[in-house]
Amino acid sequence: MNALTVLSLAAVAVCSVAQMPWYPGLYGAYPGLHPWFRSGMPLIPQATMKAMGPVPMAYNMAPIAAMAPIYSQYGAQNEFGQYSFGYNAGLSARNEMRDVFGNVRGSYNYLDTDGKVQTQQYVSDALGYRVSGTNLPEYTPEVAAARAAHQAAHKEATAATSAAPKTP
């Protein structure tokens, strides 16, 4: 597809320059850039070139249209509470599904202000809501130490509770 586009644009450029070789076309109004002028052979007599006057700057190429992003969406559900949906909107996308047990899984991504694609994935089930993503902050040494201290305190409290005498 890309090779066909390049070849067709090259054919259009060659055909248009061949019809009017004195027209500046792709090379602009700079005779030193055009390969015919570098050979030292003038294409038309000098007197005719002086009689023509100034040549406007123009391009003799066909305009190239930008590729449009692909937009799509889908959705489905049934009588058992299952569903799935999603979309693709060019710079962002999302999908989510729920199974018959109520577990939800999904992900989404988007282009942030720095031009990076950020992706998040999430799960909601019997173990709670969990998320992972490319833009979540990393644990600093202070946060890691505080989490370790909290975990140790939790283990001590659990051990103290299980060692306490049980009353009937």
Q: What is the pLDDT of residues 56-72, one digit of tens each?
A: 555 555 555 555 566 89
Angle at 153 between CA 149 and CA 157, to 5 degrees: 170
Q: What is the pLDDT of residues 20-31, one digit of tens each?
A: 555 455 444 445
Q: What is the pLDDT of residues 78-111, one digit of tens each?
A: 999 999 999 998 889 999 999 999 999 999 999 9
Q: What are phi and psi of 117, to 5 degrees?
A: -85, 120
Q: What is the pLDDT of residue 137?
A: 82
Is 71 in contact with 90 (CB distance < 8 Å)? yes
Whether the predicted pLDDT of 161 surpasses 60: yes
pTM given for the model = 0.45
